[in-house]
Amino acid sequence: MSEPNGSNGPQDEPNDGSKGGPQDPPATEQVNIEKLPARNRRRFPDISSRAYEHPADRSALVALRKLSGFDTVFKALSGLLPERSLRLLFLSDSVRVSDEQFAHLNAMLRDACYILDLEKSPLLYVSQNPVPNAMCIGMDEPIIVLTTGLVELLDEEEMRAVIGHEVGHALSGHSVYRTILLFLTTLALRVAWIPLGNLAVLALVTALREWFRKSELSADRAGLLVGQDVQASMRGLMKLAGGNHLHEMNVAAFLKQADEYEASGDLRDSVLKILNVLPRSHPFTTVRAAELRKWSGSRDFQRLMDGHYPRRTEDKDTSVSDSFKESAQHYADTVKQSKDPLMGLIRDLSSGAGDLGGKLRDRFTGAGAQTPGSSGSSGSSGSSGSSGSSNGSDSPDAPPADRPPES
């Protein structure tokens, strides 16, 4: 990451109480005052999206762009999905956020754009839908949409993190690919009767979903940079999982679930985890919370808060190979630190472990948990396999149907 250039580092901004004065400021100064955040938080002038983007997000997007036929589909859909159509859709059947409508959300949007140094705020709409949801779409300019279910679910600081999350999507340019994903998901249903056509569309949808799940981890980080309140970000994710019964929930216990999810079971459970997440547009909320907790406690996050972050003016000098190197290092570190049985097997394979066939068998059957004297017993093996099967049977026989994307 680059070093800050003097006053270009993050800045502490005054709160609303500093706005008053005996005389009205000049018009140009008044515009700047309106953009000030609602409380003391750091601002990040000229921040590049590279500062918060998850390495897996960048590598998945590069892989997506290399997918056969993607460029052709992208160019075709760019012409088929005009910006005017999207804007008319939300203008006609949603409430546009402004100083006159949902003024508190409008203030949060200006706040988020000020913190992340966006010159122009995306359009923000509230749409009637009881399902808590938010998205950032648009081919030319990003449009942010919040559902009424989400607005009613979250408190002020939790909502601030969500709006920062969506502004992070906008800064990273995710809205274009999100729009294509929405269109292709609908198209896949309409051409399901065409065997080869459906397979081609599903391949693109699967690749886009894989990238989008990773992009959510990046946007969660952007939400934390805007809100600068880790507990609020965690509460928001917890509410998406368990609803508005905050007095019945606990952030620490919720994070323990993520640890259990990663470490529990054998290789069969690892495969089931992959199958369960494939139809989803978002990672599981416990996984998102654990990833955000890890990043908020990292040296990279602290350096960013201290003003050491890459800037947009440097983006043109950043090569794709640099992103690949960073992503490769991230995956290597993930494999080393992961408690997942599949990642453990990969560690064994990469370290040249001896009885690879035996290790693979033991990981699938759960026999590795048995004592050395009982591991060769067919009875023990059968018992262990039965135990692993019962763990896996908690998941439904088929992967859960995708639900509307969470914030």
pLDDT band with cut points at 50, 70 and 90 for residue 113: very high
Q: For 80-94, how does the pLDDT look when each residue is reduced to its tens digit (9 = 90+)?
A: 666 677 788 888 999
In this predicted structure, what is the pLDDT of residue 38? 56
Can you give the three-state secondary structure of 55-84, one letter per residue?
A: HHHHHHHHHHHCCCCHHHHHHHHHHHCCHH
- Count other Cβ atoms within 10 Å, centred on residue 59: 19
| Assigned domain for 153 exists | yes
Q: For 26-45, how does the pLDDT look when each residue is reduced to its tens digit (9 = 90+)?
A: 433 333 334 555 568 999 99
Q: Are residues 244 and 372 in the same domain?
A: no
pTM: 0.68
Q: For 379-407, how does the pLDDT look when each residue is reduced to its tens digit (9 = 90+)?
A: 444 444 444 444 444 444 444 444 444 55
pLDDT band with cut points at 50, 70 and 90 for residue 75: low
Q: Are residues 266 and 292 in the same domain?
A: yes
**Structural domain containing residue 368:** 354-395
Q: Are residues 144 and 168 in the same domain?
A: yes
Side chain identity at residue 328, one-letter code = A
In this predicted structure, what is the pLDDT of residue 275? 62
Q: Are residues 273 and 374 in the same domain?
A: no
Most distant pair of Cα atoms in the chain: their distance: 87
Number of domains forming the structure of the chain:
2
Model confidence at 279: pLDDT above 80: no
| Assigned domain for 229 exists | yes
Average pLDDT over residues 353-373: 46
In this predicted structure, what is the pLDDT of residue 44? 98
The residues that are catalytic are 166
Angle at 226 between CA 221 and CA 229, to 5 degrees: 80
Model confidence at 348: pLDDT above 70: no
Are the CB atoms for 136 and 143 separated by under 8 Å?
yes
Q: Are residues 330 and 370 in the same domain?
A: no
**How far is the C-alpha of 124 from the C-alpha of 97, rounded, in Å?**
5
Side chain identity at residue 157, one-letter code = E
| Assigned domain for 400 exists | no
| Assigned domain for 84 exists | yes
Q: Are residues 187 and 63 in the same domain?
A: yes
| Assigned domain for 384 exists | yes
| Assigned domain for 349 exists | no
Tokens linked to 357: 């066939």
In this predicted structure, what is the pLDDT of residue 20? 42
From first CA to last CA, the distance across the chain in angstroms is 28
Q: Cα–Cα distances in Å, from 245 out to 238, 343, 361, 373? A: 10, 35, 43, 49
In this predicted structure, what is the pLDDT of residue 89? 83
Q: Are residues 46 and 161 in the same domain?
A: yes
Question: Which of 230 and 175 is assigned the larger pLDDT?
Answer: 230
Residue 144 phi/psi, 5° resolution?
Answer: -105, 135
Q: Are residues 321 and 223 in the same domain?
A: yes
Q: Are residues 263 and 358 in the same domain?
A: no
In this predicted structure, what is the pLDDT of residue 254? 93
Q: Are residues 34 and 181 in the same domain?
A: yes
| Assigned domain for 388 exists | yes
Are the CB atoms for 97 and 106 separated by under 8 Å?
yes
pLDDT band with cut points at 50, 70 and 90 for residue 60: confident
Query: What is residue 311's DSSP assignment?
Result: B
Q: Are residues 285 and 359 in the same domain?
A: no
Q: Are residues 254 and 365 in the same domain?
A: no
Q: Which of 114-123, 213-222, 294-303, 351-360 has the lowest mean pLDDT?
A: 351-360
Side chain identity at residue 345, one-letter code = L
**How far is the C-alpha of 138 from the C-alpha of 179, rounded, in Å?**
6
In this predicted structure, what is the pLDDT of residue 193? 57
| Assigned domain for 303 exists | yes
- Cα atoms found within 13 Å of the Cα of residue 258, Cβ hemisphere only: 22
Q: Which of 6-20, 33-47, 222-236 has the lowest mean pLDDT?
A: 6-20
Strand segments (E) across 61-164: 95-96, 123-127, 134-137, 143-147
